[in-house]
Structure 1
Amino acid sequence: MPGPSSAAVAAVAAHPAARRGLLAVWGPGLIVMLADTDAGCLVTAAQSGAQWGYALVLPQLLLIPILFMVQEITVRLGVVTRKGHGQLITETFGRGWGAVSVAPLVVSSIGALLTEFAGIAGAGELFGISPWLTVPVATAALLAVGLMGSYRRAERIGIVVGLAQLFFVPAMLLARPNPAALLSGLGQLPLGNQGYLLLLAANVGAVIMPWMIFYQQTAVIDKGLTAADLRRERRDTAFGSVLTQAVMIVVIVTLAATVWTHHRNASLNTVGDIAAALGPFLGGTTASVLVGLAIVGAALVAALVVSLAGSWGLADVFGWRHSLNERVGRDNWRFYLVYALIHVVGAAVVLSAVNLVQLAVDVELINALLLPLVLGFLLALEAKALPPEHRMRGPYRWVVTGLCLVVIAFGLSMVPQALAAL
């Protein structure tokens, strides 16, 4: 089955510099984590802070090690087997299970991409720019990045753009959160409240998403990383895990210090509503600029990662050639066609108008419901597809397995409530 590796990728992997320089190794973990904090996640975090204050900060901290452990397994599967996630499932468990594994990827990717384009449209409207301009321009830019014929170049562009979500940091500083209220909120977990549980499920779904696993496993291959780079790629993933959760906490704290503290009944249905709610505390123009830039940066990097993950996953299962290091040709046109169609269809749906806040929360809830299947496949591959020397051992295996089982059990327990809320 043709995989993502190509002559170009092999040449990169063979080059000594590919394993010497920090920047030559770091990237897949950072970009996938920046994409993890996408427009939908930022909106979910904003809704969390506005509705529950600081009570959802502690779960964000607890999710850091789980996020790292899940993606670290993904990295090992990629650099050791040199196969994409869908391809590895297909070869290990059969084509039927490969198709089953892609189902949550497709659902999650479509939902996520819709939130990205809706976020871009909403951010443009903050400055009076029509979605009929911002969404097509964003679509064209994303297509151009994917068609450059270089994974490394696409990754660098994605990281630079994705770092714009850090504009929420000055927003938090201007909001002047109360340290005492923040510390008090860390001890509040109203698990008996169904509304809190639903937002907690949405936040869990906002942290571990199916497309992240498919993306990073193929990205480390396309970048030419090998088992020799494993330790530094773990650090890349660890840094990204802390960064993405720090951004989520920053957004929650910003909304908790403003909307939740002073105007708890504020209606947040669009990016404009979030900026308007922060306006009295940050200044109208400042709020629009900071929120707009953060949402656009998060949405663009996530749209790039999500569309690539979906295209790579489908190509894995169907056996199409799919390396970003190769320009469009007779062997890989199906992969690039899917990549293009994902953007065009997503943009068209968003231009028909959607409620971003409700869409974002619903998408993250769906991700939480898909976690049992996604994590189940991941643990099974770790135990069966990796050679013994690269498998988890000792207490670490039990900790990772135990945490994954807790997340799986939580996802299953939320099925009735989440389905009722969708």
Structure 2
Amino acid sequence: MSHMIRVRNIFKFFGPAWLVMIADMDASSTLGAAETGALFKYGLIWFTIVLVIPLYLVQESSGRIGVATEMGLGEVIRNNYSHSLTLIATVPMVLTDIVTYVIEYLGIAVGLSLFNIPILFSLPVFYVIHIAVVIHRKYGLTESILLVISGMLIVAFIAALTVRGIEPYSPLYFVPSPTFLFMLAVNVDAVIMPFMLFFQASATAEKVIHTRKKFQINNSTEINSNIVRDKFTKTAMKSMRLETLLGAVVSEMLMVVVEMVMSGIGPNMNFASISQLAGGLTAIAGVYSPY
């Protein structure tokens, strides 16, 4: 019974770490993994698996900041460093996020274009949705929706590999050519992105604050005892670490799945071209390729 209680307490904090790790499988990561598979087939699977380690270590540090301070990373930087250092930390993050958003909207455009939904319609609609999420700050509702979508994403990727089938390609390949080294950099960049650090710290902090308030209401008391406070923080920290580890493993395994699905499609495919992508996917799954 005590074991079940501990598991239930840990799941009270579930959400932020998992979502940010699954968000690692965004449009840029998916397209990067697809191009990796097209160029090297299964050859970089070994490298993708190795990336679980830095992904976990970096994101766990971000989550730890959120649990310990109950503040976002930006707020922590602003409160502890000078304006100059805060600006130095902020500017590259903003520039990187701008590029990331361009790629995300490219992914939306490419994906919906496969269903013949015009870009002039799809991009404004999704932009309005994103703005609404930010303005209304309904994190709990958004988190619940995204948790369902994350499960659908996993099922969809596994289904794609099932349709594609597993080929007898070697998962080990290393040739220090410019193209090979470039694709290594692409895969590293897909793992460590500034928005992930800021999101996990902020979302984890908000989740901890929300859970603490619910705990106070349910128990009609404040968490003012050092023993109770320490126990609460330790549970939140343990949950975040387990969730981050699980998310790191799952997200990189999804990268592996995409590499396997797109293996052998052709090294000259332009993944930003709707017609070329549609043709390549049709070779894999026929009429089911858009899905």
Q: TM-score range by the shorter chain?
A: 0.7 to 0.9
> What is the aligned-residue RMSD (CA, Å)?
2.0
Q: Deviations over 1:359-389 (max 9, x none)?
A: xxxxxxxxxxxxxxxxxxxxxxxxxxxxxxx
1:164/1:40 Cα in 2 relative to 1: closer, same or farther (>3 Å)? farther
Q: Deviations over 1:211-258 (max 9, x none)?
A: 1111111111111256231001111111111111111110001111x4
Preserved contact between residue 148 and residue 154 of structure 1 (Cα < 8 Å): no
Q: Deviations over 1:106-145 (max 9, x none)?
A: 1121111111111111112112111111111112222233
| 1:28 paired residue number | 16
Report whether the alignment pairs 1:187 with 2:175.
no
SS across alignment from 2:289: helix
Q: Deviations over 1:372-419 (max 9, x none)?
A: xxxxxxxxxxxxxxxxxxxxxxxxxxxxxxxxxxxxxxxxxxxxxxxx
* 1:36-185 map, 5 Å: 36-166=24-154, 167-178=156-167, 180-181=168-169, 184=170
Structure 1 CA distance, aligned partners of 2:95 and 2:152? 27
Please, which of 227, 233, 256 is the counterpart of residue 227 of structure 1? 233
**Per-residue deviation at 1:271?**
4.8
| 1:287 paired residue number | 289
* 1:179-328 map, 5 Å: 180-181=168-169, 184=170, 186-190=171-175, 192-224=176-208, 227-228=233-234, 229-256=236-263, 258-259=264-265, 263-283=266-286, 285-289=287-291
Structure 2 CA distance, aligned partners of 1:234 and 1:195? 35
Normalising by structure 1, we get a TM-score of 0.59
Number of residue pairs the alignment of both structures matches: 262
**Per-residue deviation at 1:20?**
5.0
1:269/1:149 Cα in 2 relative to 1: closer, same or farther (>3 Å)? closer
1:222/1:189 Cα in 2 relative to 1: closer, same or farther (>3 Å)? same
1:22/1:188 Cα in 2 relative to 1: closer, same or farther (>3 Å)? same
Preserved contact between residue 72 and residue 202 of structure 2 (Cα < 8 Å): yes
**Per-residue deviation at 1:282?**
1.3
Preserved contact between residue 45 and residue 172 of structure 2 (Cα < 8 Å): no
| 1:308 paired residue number | none
Normalising by structure 2, we get a TM-score of 0.83
Q: Higher relative contact order by CA 8 Å / sep ≥ 6: 1 or 2?
A: 2
Q: What is the letter of the counterpart of residue 211 of structure 1?
A: F
| Residue identity (%) | 28
Q: What is the letter of the counterpart of residue 125 of structure 2?
A: V
Q: Deviations over 1:27-62 (max 9, x none)?
A: 111110111110111001111111111122111100
| 1:388 paired residue number | none
Preserved contact between residue 172 and residue 250 of structure 1 (Cα < 8 Å): yes
Structure 2 CA distance, aligned partners of 1:143 and 1:23? 29
Preserved contact between residue 119 and residue 271 of structure 1 (Cα < 8 Å): no
Q: What is the letter of the counterpart of residue 92 of structure 1?
A: N
Unpaired runs of at least 5, structure 2: 210-231
1:264/1:205 Cα in 2 relative to 1: closer, same or farther (>3 Å)? closer
Q: What is the letter of the counterpart of residue 118 of structure 1?
A: L
Q: Deviations over 1:57-91 (max 9, x none)?
A: 11110010211111111111111122321222233
1:60/1:148 Cα in 2 relative to 1: closer, same or farther (>3 Å)? same
Preserved contact between residue 78 and residue 84 of structure 1 (Cα < 8 Å): yes
- Higher alpha-carbon deviation: 159-168 or 200-209: 159-168
Q: Deviations over 1:174-204 (max 9, x none)?
A: 11122x31xx2x32121x1011101110110
Q: What is the letter of the counterpart of residue 216 of structure 1?
A: Q
Structure 2 CA distance, aligned partners of 1:147 and 1:86? 18
Unpaired runs of at least 5, structure 1: 1-16, 290-422
Q: What is the letter of the counterpart of residue 221 of structure 1?
A: A
1:26/1:266 Cα in 2 relative to 1: closer, same or farther (>3 Å)? same
Structure 2 CA distance, aligned partners of 1:43 and 1:99? 31
1:144/1:161 Cα in 2 relative to 1: closer, same or farther (>3 Å)? farther
Q: What is the letter of the counterpart of residue 177 of structure 2?
A: N
Structure 1 CA distance, aligned partners of 2:121 and 2:250? 31
